[in-house]
Structure 1
Amino acid sequence: MIDVLLLAAGALGLVVAALSERLRRLPLSEPVMALVAGVLLGPAVTGVLDLRPVTEDPTWLHSATRALLAISVMSVALRYPFGAARSRLRPVLLLLAVAMPVMALVTAGLAALTLGVGLGAAALLGAALCPTDPVLASSVVTGGPAEQDLPERDRQILSLESGANDGLALPLVLVAVALAGSEAMGAAVLESLWQVLGAVAVGVAAGWLGGRALRAGEEHGSTDAGPRLLFTAVLALAVLGLSGLIHVDGILAVFVCGLAFNLVSTGSDRTDDAPIDEAVNRFLVLPLFVALGAVLPWAAWADLGWRGPALVVAVLLLRRLPIVWLLRRPLHLGRPDALFLGWFGPIGVSAVFYLVLEAERLRIDPVVLAAGTLVVAASTVVHGVTSSPGRKLYSRITSSDAAGSDAAEPGLTGS
């Protein structure tokens, strides 16, 4: 079974490599291609990949999504110079501190209304589906077409938000688990504090040590270009392992580690590392999404009836877009920017990670996994298909607005 999965992912990798930047201009993304391939190879169609639905056996997804998220958030942390990341601190903090908790509440409310589930199940769905996924967001904000169509500020805000909120969603998940289970709320709060503060400490220390080690190796001529390109990926996995051993938020620790490494290492280090991390992030999604496509719970989705599609439509339209629109002035966003950033807050690998984490922590209602994976699959397809047209539409609107503004200025219209 694993051989078929690797073969399918490898074949898709050849297609992605051959299409290169042209793929970024098509209404198609790498995760969508892999998800569709997984569906075709899975039990629902050909049965080549005979895997059990995720609602029956979700445990293996925990390690897979955790490793992919670590590489992805490290990629985000290295994508821009540290000074650029620091300049976006205010809008990113506003999205993390205000928008993300509100998105969790809105999603929980929508789940309760459409699915008819109780407070605990609704809270579990709201917490798991609230973070913006860095894996899916990277296909929107990276590559030549994105750099041409989107302003740097919007790309940086979406990247940094998606990198940070994956780890910072954990306290919301722990609170939801306490609501749905028998754990005391005080214990959940204390665990959240340890997980977050411990992750920050581990990330800062590991990033500083990693940056200093790389510099020392270069000064002595023992680190050439090849090993340096993979160094941060290995560093991300090391931090993830350490975080697991001491039970802190590993995804947040890796993101903080990347920021600290970015600060300590030289400008050329960051420039060298960012492309390889982005390339790993782009190709590493393929086997996971092929596998995810093969384990989609079609029967459980059918059992949801009309409630499943209703939840999908409600979450995609109401979870994020109205909130970012209302925050556009504090975020200093124009209307096109607020619409773009409000729409492109995809739900993907991070949601699967937290859904599986919730399933491991307590016996959750099967509806939670069924509805959660349905939203993930829908977001993967919808946001993947609309990413290229959305960028082009944004570019066309802003270009028209700029042309109209210039034409209205005295001396430019002939008046």
Structure 2
Amino acid sequence: MEELHLTYGLMGVLAAILALVSYGMRQVPLSEPLVALALGVVLGPQVLGLVEITDQVRDVVLLEGSRLIVALSVMAAALRFRASELGRVVRPVLLLLAIVMPLAAVISGAASLVMGVPLALAALIGACLCPTDPVLASSVVSGEPAERHLPGRLRHTLSVESGINDGLALPLVGLALVAVLPAQTLGAAAGLLTYQVLVGVVIGIATGALAGWGVRRATRNRELERAPDLILPLLLAVGVLGVAKVAQTDGILAVFVAGTVYNRMTTRDQREPQQAIDEAVNRYLALPLFLVLGVVLPWAQWVELGPAAVVFVLLVLLLRRVPLVLTLARPMRLPKQQAVFLGWFGPMGVSSLFYLAHSLEQGVTDPRLFAVGSLMVAASVLVYGLTSTPGRKLYARSAGEAAS
């Protein structure tokens, strides 16, 4: 327990330091998660050896930390655009969820076979890596540079997709777990997963509507002060996550649905101040988790994977998403430049860490799950952290040239 508390202390102090130098960090082509990950590597046992975290503490921190951060992040994604504008991105989002996400799981799982992992474990790895991370995606689609360089429909599509597919990845992970842990029958697992998704949606609708009604009433009667008004979506996200967990449902999906309903029922004046604090939380609350990830990266196990690990990373980065989105560009009604951008920026991050930790909690003991999964997440943080700012500028330049 003392080690867990020391870990919390380290996470909080170093994240606060990173937040204090946030303006300077925004001036360099490095994302905050990448800096936090690198700092964790430096402080960890592979370099300075100042911090060591046991596997038991690692699993607790990654599971509960990623669960909370993803919930807050999908709430921010739900509030980023007016709910009334959702209709303009329904087509591309449905195609991304129904076609791209499942195929991304298949491609990622198939790529892991080059390292000799069993087929069932490969399916689980692919399922854990298929969702687009809302935390890393937020750094691409939110803020003044994104608003200046990227069209609103493109940013809206990526925000909604990253908000929804984090919850909808649960059925894919659950079914893969049946293959790895065959203690449960496929029929029972399918029934449980259906319950988790459907009841999660119901909880999200009910709690979002109740929160929206409460804000309307409090605003009308002038009972809502500014301080609680600012953090209300965060409180809603935590509350929905807790209710969904008690009901043993899909908490991440429930939070996004609640945020969307709440968005629909509140005015723009009520949402905008909340969006500011949500984005701040989205940017900085995740930093401690990436720092811990840097400390616990399994370098020795990566070496054991051999050169095939590099092939795996390249295959996932190049094939998991880009060819699929380009193929669907016409049905999604996206220009080629937007399809390339949307295909490339589908990062793996906190949501994948959550499903990796969830799988470990469910009883998966093969160390290759965390080794392969963490390798891909670390590579994703590195690659997308280096390419997000240049990618936005390159898109703006190419779109301008195409228009001329």
Using structure 2 for the length normalisation, give the TM-score: 0.96
Alignment of structure 1 residues 78-97 onto 2, 5 Å: 78-97=79-98
Shift of 1:334: 1.3
Q: Which runs of 4+ in 1 moved over 4 A?
A: none
Contact 1:134 1:163 in 2 (8 A): yes
Whole-Å separation in 2 of the counterparts to 1:332 and 1:221: 44
- 1:358, 1:364 within 8 Å by CA — same for their partners in 2? no
Query: What's the offset of the Cα at 1:53?
Result: 5.4
Q: How does 1:39-118 map to 2 (within 5 A)?
A: 39-52=41-54, 57-112=58-113, 114-118=114-118
Write the mapping of 1:193-272 to structure 2, written as runs, cut at 5 A. 193-272=194-273
What stretches of structure 1 of length at least 5 have no aligned partner? 404-415
Task: Verify the 8 A CA contact 2:58 2:296 in the aligned structure 1.
Answer: no
Q: Which moved more, 1:289-298 or 1:203-212?
A: 289-298
**Deviation, structure 1 residue 58:** 2.0
Contact preservation (8 Å) 1:43, 1:51? no
Question: What do residues 312-361 of structure 1 show as CA deviations (whole Å, max 9, x unaligned)?
Answer: 11111111111111111111111111111110000000001001111111
How big is the shift at 1:219? 2.1
1:120 maps to which residue?
Answer: 120
- Pick from 11, 20, 23 the counterpart of residue 17 of structure 2: 11
Given that 1:30 and 1:285 are in contact with CA atoms closer than 8 Å, whether structure 2 keeps it comes out as no
**Aligned residue for 1:347?**
348
Shift of residue 109, structure 1, vs aligned partner? 1.1
Distance 1:122 1:197, change over 3 A: same
Range with bigger deviation, 299-308 or 56-65 = 56-65
The one-letter code matched in structure 2 to 1:118 is P
Alignment-mate amino acid for residue 381 of structure 1: L
Answering whether residue 31 of structure 2 is matched by residue 29 of structure 1, we say yes
Tell me the SS of whatever aligns to 1:49: coil
Q: Tell me the distance in 1 between the aligned counterparts of 2:379 and 2:59.
A: 19
C-alpha RMSD of matched pairs (Å): 1.4
CA distance in 1: counterparts of 2:261 and 2:12, whole angstroms: 34
Q: Give the structure 2 partner of residue 178 of structure 1.
A: 178
Cα displacement (A) at 1:254: 0.2
Secondary structure in 1 matching 2:380: helix
Distance in 1 of aligned mates of 2:285 and 2:13: 13
Q: Aligned equivalents of 2:365 and 2:119: distance in 1?
A: 12
SS at match of 2:285: helix
Structure-2 separation of matches of 1:136 and 1:162: 10
- Is 2:389 aligned against 1:388? yes
- Using the TM superposition, give the Cα deviation of residue 59 of structure 1 relative to its aligned residue in structure 2, in angstroms: 3.2
Moved more, 263-272 or 319-328: 263-272
Aligned length: 397
* Structure 1 residue matching 2:59: 3-state secondary structure: coil
TM value normalised by structure 1: 0.93
- Provide the rounded CA distance (Å) in 2 between the counterparts of 1:163 and 1:172: 16
Partner of 2:140: 140
Aligned match of 1:160: 160
Offset of residue 26 of structure 1:
3.2
Deviations 1:131-152 (A, max 9, x none): 0000000001111111111111
Which has the higher mean CA deviation after the structures are superposed, 346-355 or 283-292? 283-292
- Structure exhibiting the larger radius of gyration computed from Cα positions: 1
User: Is residue 108–residue 129 contact of structure 2 (8 Å, CA) maintained in 1?
Assistant: yes
1:218-253 CA deviation, whole Å, 9 max, x = no partner? Answer: 222221222101011011000000011010000000
Alignment partners' CA distance in 1, 2:96 and 2:12? 37
2:208–2:260 Cα contact (<8 Å) kept? yes
- Give the whole-Å Cα distance in 1 for the aligned partners of 2:293 and 2:368: 18
Q: Deviations over 1:142-178 (max 9, x none)?
A: 1111111111111010111001000000000001001
Structure 1 residues 115, 173: CA separation in 2 closer, same or farther (over 3 Å shift)? Answer: same
SS at match of 2:379: helix
Quick check: 1:107–1:126 contact (8 Å CA) kept in 2? Answer: yes
Q: Work out the CA distance in 2 between the residues paired with 1:60 and 1:279.
A: 21
What residue number does 2:402 align with?
A: 401
Match of 1:276 in 2: 277
Q: Which residue of 2 aligns with 1:337?
A: 338
Q: CA deviation at 1:48?
A: 1.9
Alignment match, 1:407: none
Deviating more after overlay: 100-109 vs 220-229: 220-229
d(CA) in 2 for partners of 1:209, 1:399: 44
Local SS of the residue matching 1:46: coil
CA–CA separation in structure 2 for the residues paired with 1:366 and 1:49: 21
- How many Å separate the matches in 1 of 2:364 and 2:214? 44
CA distance in 2, matches of 1:53, 1:362: 14
Give the letter aligned to residue 285 of structure 2. Answer: L
Ranges in structure 2 where 5+ consecutive residues have no aligned partner: 1-5
